[in-house]
A and B are shown apart, each in its own frame.
Chain A
């Protein structure tokens, strides 16, 4: 059985003679706001409402967005509600055990259809007038249906379905573009780096109960970009946490702080960085002791075990990030230009004994949960970027992404273009792709030739 499941169907939103005026969707050319080669970013991309709206159309409505983990669905009717960009989404398992995703909005008058975060159900019934939809999204019952015109057809009023839902090693992603490049193709070389977390165990991964959710002042890209490209902040931002975690209580040794490593940046905007120093591990001791490193070397290769399996960071463009060291997987949901909502799960290997899973869980919560000793200092930085960035002069001063310009190369060991650990290369790649997507019409803009 392939680990990549796929399901496509037609979104059926266009009914009657409805269309939207062009004035709603005036697009801004962002090419002068992002200088990926020169390493400069205009701060308006974090603050402008019009750019934020364009991101909803040209980034979130056409990219592969993380929805949920396969272990959240065990039997038909299990559901989980989330967002794709600002669009509310129901993810559920249908009767054939296929994972499907729908817009969480009643087709009748638009109420949020499902108000629970997760659960199990046979039908999604709207609490406003009682329109009721089955697990395949079909409109099954309409109270007083006889009063509708003769040509009213329930088949036309099923839930709007996300046409493209695919998974990679337990991670389920959705894309509103039915013709999008497949998830695996889009991930490309990024799969190698993801496998270092997702494929340690032949049984795969699972998430432990619950999603930690918190709000933050800060544009979503500040977090996504940092997880793609930024090992540079670790020694400064997380100085207190590193000190507490280090065996001496005085912080990591200089040789560990100055560790070598690599940073991968993809043409599709994905990024991952990791030290390659064999002693730079910061994972929980029971997890470290559990792993059979010889078997892992066999399974993943030496370079993966000595690199991206250790303490590292990564972002799958646009807003899914993870940390291999503690199984934190998270989405940065955009909530307006100035706000994001962080949703974070605890990922563990399925075969881990319970006490090892628990050690991973505790380490995850205590370092990168909302009370985590690392997380708090990241959040403070992002909110303090955002809080001052509406000043006119402030907003006009570009930001620096110049570290490691020209250092990107194929090093013969790690797939794709990689740079040094301390580099902005993946950040430049992230914004290069962002800029390209922002300047390219999306599927919903392709007008039919008359």
Chain B
């Protein structure tokens, strides 16, 4: 990276465009069911985390998002995600057989420099899942990623925090990724 990097400053238009395309390609991989390819967007030391959200009195609002080390929707490494993906390939993962239809919509992307080689990128998602005949789930939430910009300019997600906009999960499971 030759350009001057200012931490917390929004990235320039070209990099913003590349990040957006990176997310759109990620969404395509998930919706096409190419989970093994999807896994490759992550760095080896990945932390993939989706905390629980509880209703708290306003004066205790700081506690409304679960912390690391507590029960969570996802608390994953690259290895544990690989484990989940291998399950789908077993041919006996009945909860996704026949597979659901999903559409991952990604928007509200803001990318800032977190360090000279890392970006902090926030985005919003709306994931639609339609399953079997009429089962329909909508998962809404936001993501905060730490994305490493590699020497060759490609991206690797090192950390992803997913914040679902829910208290009780209004679906019978989380069998897609976000």
Task: From the candidates B75, B92, B135, name the one contacting A240 in the complex (CB within 8 A).
Answer: B92
Of the candidates B51, B96, B135, B172, the one having the most CB atoms from chain A within 10 angstroms of its own CB is B172
CB distance from B152 to the nearest CB of A (A): 33
B34 interface hit (Cβ, 8 Å): no
- How many chain B residues touch A (CB < 8 A): the figure is 41
Closest to B51 in A: A210
CA distance A355 to B60 in the complex (A): 28
A residues 248-275 with Cβ under 8 Å of B?
Answer: 249
Interchain CB contact under 8 A, B93 and A240: yes
Q: A115-B55, A215-B171 are in contact. Are A371 and B60 (CB under 8 A)?
A: no
CA distance A217 to B71 in the complex (A): 23
B1 interface hit (Cβ, 8 Å): no
Interchain CB contact under 8 A, B52 and A210: yes
Interface 9-residue window, one of B5-13, B62-70, B107-115 = B62-70
CA distance A376 to B99 in the complex (A): 13
CB distance from A223 to the nearest CB of B (A): 11
Interchain CB contact under 8 A, A120 and B70: no
Task: From the candidates A213, A214, A344, name the one contacting B172 in the complex (CB within 8 A).
Answer: A214
Q: A243-B90, A244-B86 are in contact. Are A369 and B71 (CB under 8 A)?
A: yes
A237 interface hit (Cβ, 8 Å): yes
B residues 35-93 with Cβ under 8 Å of A?
Answer: 51-52, 54-57, 60, 63, 66-67, 69-76, 80, 83-84, 86-88, 90-93
CB distance from A342 to the nearest CB of B (A): 9
Interchain CB contact under 8 A, B71 and A346: yes
Interface 9-residue window, one of A149-157, A293-301, A360-368, A411-419 = A360-368
Task: From the candidates A115, A117, A240, A371, name the one contacting B174 in the complex (CB within 8 A).
Answer: A371
A37 interface hit (Cβ, 8 Å): no
CA distance A316 to B70 in the complex (A): 25
CB distance from A8 to the nearest CB of B (A): 30
A121 interface hit (Cβ, 8 Å): yes
- Name the A residues within 8 Å of B56 (CB-CB): 116-119
- Name the B residues within 8 Å of A364 (CB-CB): 71
How many Cβ-Cβ contacts under 8 Å join chain A to chain B?
Answer: 137
Interchain CB contact under 8 A, A383 and B172: yes
Task: From the candidates B75, B92, B174, name the one contacting A239 in the complex (CB within 8 A).
Answer: B92
Task: From the candidates A116, A358, A361, A365, name the one contacting B55 in the complex (CB within 8 A).
Answer: A116
Q: A208-B71, A362-B75 are in contact. Are A380 and B94 (CB under 8 A)?
A: yes
CB distance from A209 to the nearest CB of B (A): 3
Interchain CB contact under 8 A, A377 and B95: yes
Interface 9-residue window, one of B17-25, B116-124, B140-148, B162-170 = B162-170
CA distance A41 to B9 in the complex (A): 65
Task: From the candidates B51, B171, B173, name the one contacting A375 in the complex (CB within 8 A).
Answer: B173
Closest to A243 in B: B90
Interchain CB contact under 8 A, A116 and B57: yes
- Name the B residues within 8 Å of A120 (CB-CB): 60
A345 interface hit (Cβ, 8 Å): yes
Interchain CB contact under 8 A, A211 and B92: no
Interchain CB contact under 8 A, B95 and A210: no
- Name the B residues within 8 Å of A385 (CB-CB): none
- Name the B residues within 8 Å of A377 (CB-CB): 93-95
Closest to B133 in A: A387
Interchain CB contact under 8 A, A379 and B90: no
CA distance A215 to B169 in the complex (A): 6
Q: A117-B54, A210-B52, A215-B169 are in contact. Are A239 and B71 (CB under 8 A)?
A: no
Interchain CB contact under 8 A, B87 and A240: yes
CA distance A117 to B60 in the complex (A): 11
Interchain CB contact under 8 A, B90 and A209: no
- Name the B residues within 8 Å of A213 (CB-CB): 52, 167-169
CA distance A98 to B84 in the complex (A): 43
Interchain CB contact under 8 A, A216 and B71: no
Closest to A378 in B: B95
- Name the B residues within 8 Å of A241 (CB-CB): 87
- Name the B residues within 8 Å of A239 (CB-CB): 90, 92
CA distance A116 to B61 in the complex (A): 10
- Name the A residues within 8 Å of B154 (CB-CB): none
Interchain CB contact under 8 A, A209 and B60: no
B130 interface hit (Cβ, 8 Å): no
- Name the B residues within 8 Å of A240 (CB-CB): 87-88, 90-94
Interchain CB contact under 8 A, B90 and A376: no
Interchain CB contact under 8 A, B52 and A215: no
Interchain CB contact under 8 A, A237 and B73: no
Interface mask (A335-370 → B, CB under 8 Å = 1, otherwise 0):
000000100111000000000001001101110011
Of the candidates B56, B57, B91, B92, the one having the most CB atoms from chain A within 10 angstroms of its own CB is B92
- Name the A residues within 8 Å of B135 (CB-CB): 383
Task: From the candidates A117, A210, A217, name the one contacting B72 in the complex (CB within 8 A).
Answer: A210
- Name the B residues within 8 Å of A381 (CB-CB): 94
CB distance from A217 to the nearest CB of B (A): 7
CB distance from B46 to the nearest CB of A (A): 14
Interchain CB contact under 8 A, A210 and B55: no
14 residue pairs of the A-B complex, CB under 8 angstroms, read A116-B54, A116-B55, A119-B63, A208-B69, A209-B70, A210-B72, A344-B71, A365-B71, A366-B84, A369-B72, A370-B171, A371-B74, A373-B87, A380-B172
Known: A243-B90, A366-B75, A371-B84. 18 other contacts (CB 8 A): A116-B55, A117-B55, A208-B71, A209-B70, A213-B52, A213-B168, A213-B169, A215-B169, A215-B170, A240-B87, A240-B94, A244-B84, A344-B71, A365-B71, A365-B73, A365-B74, A370-B171, A373-B87
